[in-house]
Amino acid sequence: MAGGISRGLEDLRMALSNLRAQKTRTFLTALGIVFGVGSVIGMLAIGEGAKQESLKFIEQLGVRNILVDSRPPTSEQELTQRRRVSPGLTHRDVRIIKANIEQVEMISPRRSLHPSQVLPKPAQQMPELFGVTSQYQQIHNLRVVEGSFFEEKHDLDSAPVCILGEAAKINLLGYERAVGKSVKINDTWLQVVGVIATRISAPGSEPAGAADINNIIYVPLNTFQYRFWDVSAYMKDQLDGVDIRLKPDTDSEQIARVVTGILNASHHDMPDFNVTIPAALLAQQKKQQELFTYVMVAIAAISLLVGGIGIMNIVLATVMERTKEIGIRRAIGARQTDIVRQFLIESVTISVGGGALGVAFGFFLSWLIANVAEWATIVSTVSIVVAFGVSAVVGILFGIYPAVKASQIDPIEALRYE
């Protein structure tokens, strides 16, 4: 045992000595491994970052939500044709859904309006006005950072209060505390009672009509209906949308089909609404992200393959240059296994050294992508272990052939080699 360790250490010392003698060649050979390992870590970091973003989306959207949105007509003629068959999305639909689907835990009708005038004057884009119930906060997991969300009493009283999205607050009132201040929407003054934390935008997370989910002013639904007049209301349904949260352990896709069936019945199969299942959209998005990660890692792995071929070529060249040295070692008693071990250790040393530098390059690449491209990147321990482990395996696989070839050289011919 001690003898084997001693021989291994001696072979490692010889390998390092030989590689130091050809510093430039060794470094250039290792570059392929460096770029390969760094690229694999960087690509996995992008994939892991995207995965974490998806988890945030799930937390924000809620896996138990179903979103129903009215599909606006493209012309008055289309609207006329629709109204002959369907009343559009209405409060009656909300009552029918609540009465017939016991899995519904919360439900909030939704109306929207693009204001013609807002005071204070917006610094950037005009915010949207949303009329919702108090349950909307829990349905969409809205986090209040100032004040509180309005209550059911505010809705029943049609109170002139509002909640600002983070972007809407900055857009209208700047960075100072907003609660207690007032904003004027069209001809109605509203008191700010709360501010919503910044939300992450994701496919399926934005209600129809919302260009920026953070640049929205929320008011109680009754306040919206009794205090605001939408000049384009004749072209819209009674409701712009219905947001539903289901009870725990409910199959959202199955209930979505039930909701669709109920609405088809009340709308007489007129396709004037959309039913969206955020959980299904996110599942599809995660699959696409996983596929993207696999493809990018496969592309990055080509660098490792190229690096491995480079190691094999350089070790083969080294074998030819050191043929006489091999003959001398064989002449003084070295076995074929000793020769194999010597050259295999050299190739593994190159790949492992390149792998170590590649890990550092991978961290730098992830940082660069995060700061320049503004993509979320997370370097995981698994990605480091996988990339470094593959680099070591590459050194072994591509070092075996040159090492075996070196061990098969005839000692007599090797001694005569010049």
Mean predicted confidence (pLDDT) in 135-141: 91
Q: What angle do CA 373, 378, 379 make, to 5 degrees?
A: 115
Confidence of residue 157 (pLDDT cuts 50, 70, 90): very high
At 115 the pLDDT is 92
Out of 195-209, 231-245, 274-288, 337-351, which region has the weakest mean confidence (pLDDT)? 195-209
At 203 the pLDDT is 46
At 292 the pLDDT is 73
Distance between CA 325 and CA 125 in Å, rounded? 77
At 211 the pLDDT is 62
Mean predicted confidence (pLDDT) in 9-19: 74
243 versus 48: which is more confidently predicted?
Answer: 243
Q: What backbone torsions phi and psi does residue 326 show, to the nearest 5 degrees? A: -65, -40
- pLDDT > 70 fraction of the chain, expressed in percent and rounded: 88
Residue 2: pLDDT above 60?
no
How far, in Å, are 70, 92, 196, 297 from residue 100 at the CA level?
20, 12, 33, 49
Distance between CA 26 and CA 24 in Å, rounded? 5
Residue 418: pLDDT above 60?
no
At 374 the pLDDT is 75
pLDDT in tens, 55-102: 666 666 667 889 999 998 888 899 889 989 999 999 999 999 999 999
Mean predicted confidence (pLDDT) in 114-140: 92
Q: What backbone torsions phi and psi does residue 409 show, to the nearest 5 degrees? A: -70, 135
Out of 38-47, 162-171, 248-257, 265-274, which region has the weakest mean confidence (pLDDT)? 38-47
User: N- to C-terminal Cα distance for the chain?
Assistant: 38
Distance between CA 73 and CA 195 in Å, rounded? 33
Out of 69-83, 241-255, 329-343, 390-404, which region has the weakest mean confidence (pLDDT)? 329-343
At 42 the pLDDT is 85
| pTM of the predicted structure, to 2 decimals | 0.64
For the chain, the domains span 2-57+284-416, 72-271
Residue 264: pLDDT above 50?
yes
Residue 3: pLDDT above 60?
no
Alpha carbons within 13 A on the beta-carbon side of 280: 13
